[in-house]
C-alpha cells in the first residue's frame, strides 16, 4: 500500500496546489508526446495512510485547509518548523467556524476510542469490571485525552508528531513482514522435503535450483532513479525520443496529480518497467510478493538520495538537483532481491524455534478445549438424567391424583383373602363353636354326615387356625390347644 501524500498528509505538510495543467516546452515536438490516461490531471485524492486514526487525520487536514490564514502559513513553513510544532501555534488564529468543527471532530474521535475500548473489554470477558477510560486513552498519543471536548494547539501538535513517527516506521514494518513471509516459505519447503523419500527429495532440490536460475536470468536492471532508468521510461512508456530527454518535462509528465511533487505512489510507478524485467506473474519461478518488496526497496533508495528535506516528497527543485549528481549520470549496478537474501540463517533458526513454541501452545490450548468440551458433555448428560427423573416424578404424582390408591391394611387383607369378620382384635372361633351355614341348621346328624364339606371350607378353616396362631401373643396358650379335635361329622347337635 502506498503511503499518504508523504508526510504531507501524515503531518499536515500540504504542498501548494499547483496548476493541474503542465506545459510541455516548445523545443519538444508535441505530436511525439504520448500522454498516458493516468496523467490526465485530476484533483488530488486522499490516500489511506494505514493508520488506525487515518479518518480523523484526514478530516482535521481538510478543515484546516479551508481556513485561509492557516493555509498560507502552511505553504510558507518548512518541514523542520512543522515537526517542532511551530505550525500548530497558528491554530489560535483559525476562524471560529473551523475551530468549532475541529472540536466536534475530536469529540467524535474520543467517542470512537471509548467504543473500541468497551468492545475490547467485552471480547475479553470483562463486562463486570469498571473501565477507566482516561487511563486507557493514554495509549492514544495523537490527541490530548485530558480534554476530550475541544481541539487545542496541543492536539494539533500531537497529531503531527504521532503521524510523523508512525509513518516513518511504516516501511520498517513492511520489511519485517516480508522477512517473515520469506522465512515461512522456506520453512514450508524444508518441511515438505522431510516427507519425501531420498529419490523424490533429490528431484525436488534439483527443481528448486532450476527455478532459482531461471528467475535470476533476466535483462540488466537499471539503477532506480538514474538517467538510464528514467530515459527508458521516457522512451517506452512516454513514446519520446531518448535524445530529447528533459528532466523537467519528465517530472511534469509523471506528476500525475499535478501538485508539483513526486509522492511515493508516483515514484513507485516509475519502476514498473524495471520490475517487469525480473517478474512475470505467469512464471512459476517469479513471486509477486517479492516484486512488491523490490518496488519498495527502489522507492526507498530514490527517496534517500533525492528527498533532501525528508518530507517523503520529491519537489521539482529536488529532482532537478539530483539529475546533476554523479550518482544520476554514472550509477552503481543495482542488486536485486535474489542477490540480497532477506534473512540470515540465525534468524531462520530463531523463526523455526518460535514456530515450534507456537505449535506447542496451540496443541495445549486444543487439549484444554477438548477437556472442557468433555466436561460440558458430562454435565449435560447429568442434567438430562435429572430432567428425566423429574419428569417421571411429575407423571407419577399426576397418576396418583387421577386414580384411588388402596390403603395398606386393605392391600394385606385382599392378598390373604381374610373375611371381614376376622379382625385383628377378635380371637378365632374354634370349628366346633362355629355356627352352621344356613343349609345345615335343620339337617339331622345322620343326613348331615352325608353332606360333604366343601374343600374350600376346609381350607378356609385351616387358614383361620393358622391366622389365629400367628396373631396370638407370645406365651399365651389357646384354650383349645389341648382339647382333642372332634371331627365335624361327630359333633353333638
Quick one: 324 and 357 in the same domain?
A: no
Q: Does 454 reside within a domain?
A: no
Picking from 110, 142, 162, the residue at the C-terminal end of a domain is 162
User: For position 32, what pLDDT does the model report?
Assistant: 36
Cβ density class 183-193: b for 16+ within 10 Å, e for less? beebeeeeeee
Across the strands, what pairs with 314? 262
> Exposed/middle/buried for 127, CB within 10 Å: 0-12, 13-18, 19+?
exposed
Decide which of 376, 399, 422 is a domain's last residue.
399
Please give the residue range of the domain that contains residue 69. Answer: 53-162
Q: What is the pLDDT of residue 201?
A: 95
- Among residues 399, 414, 430, the one where a domain terminates is 399
Looking at the fold, whether 334 and 353 belong to one and the same domain comes out as no
Contacts of 4 (CB under 8 A, 6+ apart): 10, 47, 48, 49, 167
CATH number at 292 reads 1.10.238.10
Residues of the chain short of pLDDT 50, as ranges, are 1-46, 418-425, 438-442, 448-453, 456, 458, 460, 464, 467-468, 470-471, 475-493
* CB neighbourhood size of 59 (10 A): 17
Closest CA to 311 of 13, 3, 2, 91: 13
Whether 232 and 370 share a structural domain: no
In this structure, is residue 287 part of a structural domain?
yes
pLDDT at 328: 92
Does 335 share its domain with 363? no
Q: 285 and 384 share a domain?
A: no
Contact by Cβ (8 Å): 254, 266? yes
Residue 352 lies in a domain: yes
Residue with the three cell numbers 519447503: 189
pLDDT of residue 18: 28
Whether the CA torsion 327, 328, 329, 335 is positive or negative: it is positive
How high is the pLDDT of residue 17?
A: 27
Domain membership of residue 285 (yes or no) is yes
> Does a structural domain hold residue 491?
no
Instruction: Answer yes or no: do 138 and 125 share one domain.
Output: yes
| In a shared domain, residues 202 and 330 | yes
Q: Are 279 and 351 in contact (CB under 8 A)?
A: no
Residues 146 and 207 in one domain: no
pLDDT for 408? 57
Grouping H, G, I as helix, E, B as strand and the rest as coil, residue 84 is coil
* Predicted local distance difference test score (pLDDT) of residue 429: 54
Longest dimension (CA), the chain: 167
For 137-145, the CB contacts below 8 A with 24+ separation are 137/110, 137/113, 140/53, 140/113, 142/53, 142/56, 142/57, 143/106, 143/109, 143/110, 145/110
Residues 215 and 155 in one domain: no
- Structurally, the chain folds into a number of domains equal to 3
3 alpha-carbon distance from chain centroid: 26
Q: CB of 261 within 8 A of CB of 15?
A: yes
The pLDDT score that the predictor gives to residue 490 is: 44
In DSSP notation, 198-255 reads HHHHHHHHHHHHHHHHHHH--PPPPPTTSHHHHHHHHHHTT---GGG--HHHHHHHH-
Residue 306 inside a domain? The answer is yes
- The answer as to whether 468 is a domain residue is no
Same domain as 323, residue 243: yes
Same domain (yes/no): 269, 356: no
Q: Give the pLDDT of residue 102.
A: 92
Statement to judge: residues 129 and 89 lie in one domain? yes
186 falls within a domain: no
pLDDT of res. 4: 35
Residue 261's SS3 state is strand
Amino acid at each position: 500500500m502506498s503511503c499518504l501524500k508523504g508526510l504531507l498528509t501524515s503531518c499536515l505538510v500540504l504542498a501548494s496546489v499547483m496548476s493541474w495543467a503542465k506545459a510541455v516546452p516548445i523545443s519538444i515536438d508535441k505530436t511525439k508526446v504520448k500522454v498516458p490516461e493516468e496523467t490526465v490531471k485530476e484533483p488530488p485524492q486522499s490516500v489511506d495512510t494505514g493508520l488506525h486514526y487515518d479518518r480523523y487525520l484526514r478530516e482535521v487536514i481538510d478543515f484546516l485547509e479551508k481556513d485561509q490564514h492557516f493555509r498560507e502559513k502552511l505553504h510558507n513553513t518548512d518541514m523542520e518548523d512543522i515537526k517542532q510544532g511551530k505550525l500548530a501555534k497558528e491554530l489560535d488564529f483559525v476562524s471560529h467556524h473551523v475551530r468549532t468543527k475541529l472540536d466536534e471532530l475530536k469529540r467524535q474521535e474520543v467517542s470512537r476510542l471509548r467504543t473500541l475500548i468497551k468492545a475490547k473489554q467485552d471480547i475479553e470477558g470483562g463486562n463486570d469490571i469498571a473501565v477507566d477510560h482516561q487511563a486507557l486513552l493514554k495509549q492514544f498519543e495523537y490527541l490530548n485525552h485530558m480534554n476530550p471536548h475541544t481541539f487545542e494547539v496541543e492536539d494539533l501538535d500531537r497529531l503531527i508528531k504521532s503521524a510523523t513517527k508512525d509513518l516513518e516506521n511504516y516501511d520498517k514494518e513492511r520489511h519485517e513482514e516480508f522477512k517473515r513471509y520469506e522465512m515461512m516459505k522456506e520453512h514450508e519447503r524444508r518441511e515438505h522435503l522431510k516427507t519425501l523419500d531420498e529419490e523424490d527429495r533429490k528431484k525436488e532440490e534439483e527443481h528448486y535450483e532450476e527455478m532459482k536460475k531461471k528467475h535470476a536470468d533476466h535483462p540488466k536492471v537499471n539503477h532506480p532513479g538514474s538517467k538510464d532508468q528514467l530515459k527508458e521510461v521516457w522512451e517506452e512508456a512516454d513514446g519520446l525520443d531518448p535524445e530529447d530527454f528533459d528532466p523537467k518535462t519528465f517530472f511534469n509528465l509523471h506528476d500525475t496529480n499535478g501538485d508539483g511533487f513526486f509522492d511515493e505512489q508516483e515514484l513507485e510507478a516509475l519502476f514498473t518497467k524495471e520490475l517487469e524485467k525480473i517478474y512475470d506473474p505467469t512464471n512459476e519461478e517469479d513471486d509477486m510478493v517479492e516484486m512488491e518488496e523490490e518496488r519498495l526497496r527502489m522507492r526507498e533508495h530514490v527517496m534517500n538520495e533525492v528527498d533532501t528535506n525528508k518530507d517523503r516528497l520529491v519537489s521539482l527543485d529536488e529532482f532537478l538537483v539530483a539529475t546533476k549528481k554523479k550518482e544520476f549520470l554514472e550509477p552503481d549496478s543495482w542488486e536485486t532481491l535474489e542477490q540480497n537474501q532477506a534473512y540470515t540463517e540465525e534468524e531462520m533458526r530463531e523463526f523455526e524455534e518460535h514456530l515450534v513454541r507456537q505449535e506447542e501452545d496451540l496443541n495445549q490450548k486444543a487439549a484444554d478445549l477438548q477437556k472442557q468440551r468433555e466436561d460440558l458433555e458430562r454435565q449435560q448428560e447429568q442434567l438430562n438424567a435429572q430432567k428425566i427423573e423429574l419428569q417421571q416424578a411429575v407423571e407419577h404424582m399426576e397418576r396418583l391424583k387421577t386414580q384411588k390408591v388402596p390403603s395398606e391394611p386393605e392391600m394385606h387383607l385382599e392378598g390373604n383373602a381374610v373375611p371381614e369378620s376376622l379382625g385383628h382384635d377378635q380371637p378365632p372361633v374354634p370349628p366346633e363353636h362355629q355356627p352352621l351355614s344356613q343349609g345345615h341348621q335343620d339337617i339331622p346328624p345322620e343326613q348331615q354326615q352325608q353332606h360333604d364339606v366343601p374343600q374350600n371350607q376346609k381350607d378356609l378353616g385351616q387358614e383361620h387356625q393358622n391366622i389365629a396362631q400367628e396373631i396370638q401373643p407370645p406365651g399365651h396358650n389357646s384354650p383349645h390347644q389341648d382339647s382333642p379335635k372332634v371331627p365335624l361329622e361327630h359333633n353333638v347337635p
